[in-house]
Structure 1
Amino acid sequence: MEVDPRFAEFVAQRGDALLRYGYVLAGNPHDAADLVQEALLKLRGAWPRLRSKENPESYARTTMARLHIAAWRRRRRELLAWDLPESEHHDPLPSGDERRMWQALAGLPRKQRAVLVLRYYEQLDDAEIAAVLGISRGTVRSQASRALGKLRDAVPAEPMTRGPMTRGNVR
C-alpha cells in the first residue's frame, strides 16, 4: 500500500509537535513516542476519509488523548518502580483467624467480594465502586452490608487487644 504524500508531509511537519503533546500527556518520552506512533497508525488508516478535512492534527491529538486515558484506566493503580528490590519479600502466612477471614472472603459471591475489595483495599468510595461495577450506589451499600454480615458470621470477633488498625479505614 502506497503512502499518500500528503500524509507523509503532515507527519514530517507536525510529528515533533505531536511528540511534545504526547510528552505533556504521558510525562515521559517513551510513552509519548508510543502515543504518537499509535495515533499516527490510526490516522494513517483513516486518512482517506480525512483528506478533505482541514485539520488532521486535531484527529491525531484526540486519538492520543483517548489512547492515554485508556492506558491510564488499565493501570491507574499500578506503581512502577525503576529499581528492583534488594531482597525478596514474602508475606507471612496468615494465622488461623486470618486464614478463616481469607477463606470467608473467597467464599463470598463475586459482586460482594468485589465491593469489599474495592472499598477496603482500593479505598474507593461508593460512587466510584458503582461506576466501576456498573451498579447503583444503593446496590453497593447493600452488597457491602451483606458481605460484612457473612464475614462476621464466618470469623468471630476477637477482643481489641491489638493496637489500632494500620491499613485503610473501616466504613
Structure 2
Amino acid sequence: MKQRDLEAYHDFAMRRSGALYRSACLLTSGDTHLAEDLVQETLGRMYTAWKRKRCIDNPAAYAHTVLVRCFLTYKRRRSSGERPAVALPDQPAPSTDSTLKVTLLQALAQLPPLDRTVLVLRFWEDLSVEQTAEMMRTSSSAVRTRSSRALTKLRGVLGASGLAELIAR
C-alpha cells in the first residue's frame, strides 16, 4: 500500500473508531471486550479493502456495514453463547448517572441478536428501513416486522413505567 493510502486509512480509522465502538457496544449489549474485538475486526477488513477504496463510495457506511455483519457472524458461531462468571469480585458501585444506560443495555441484552441489531440500526443509527435491510441482507418488510416485534419485546422487558422513564429523560 502506498504511503499516502496508508496515511488516509490511518486517518479514517482514527476518525471512525469511536463511532464504530459506540455502535458495537450497543449491538453487544454493553460487552465492551466483544465490542473492541468487533471494531478491530472491522478495521482489519477495512484495511484489506482500502486498496479498492475507489470502489467504495462511502467508506464510513461501508465500515458500519462490515461491523454489523461481523456482529451477526459472531452471533451465529456456537462459541458466542459462552458467558463469563456472573459474580465478579470487587465491583464498583454503579453510579446514578449511568442508570439509564445500564437499564437500556440490560433490556437490549434480553432481546435476540437480530432484534437488537434492527433496533440499534433503526433507532440509534437512525437508518431508514431500506438501509437497514441492505445492511442485514434482508427485505424491507422483514425489517419493519422485526422492528415492530422487537419494540414490543423491549416494552415488555422494560415495562410501562421503565419505558416512560427512559422517554422522559
Q: Where on the TM-score scale, by shorter chain, does this alignment land: which range?
A: 0.3 to 0.5
Higher alpha-carbon Rg? 1
More helix by share: 2
Q: Normalized against structure 1, the TM-score is what?
A: 0.43
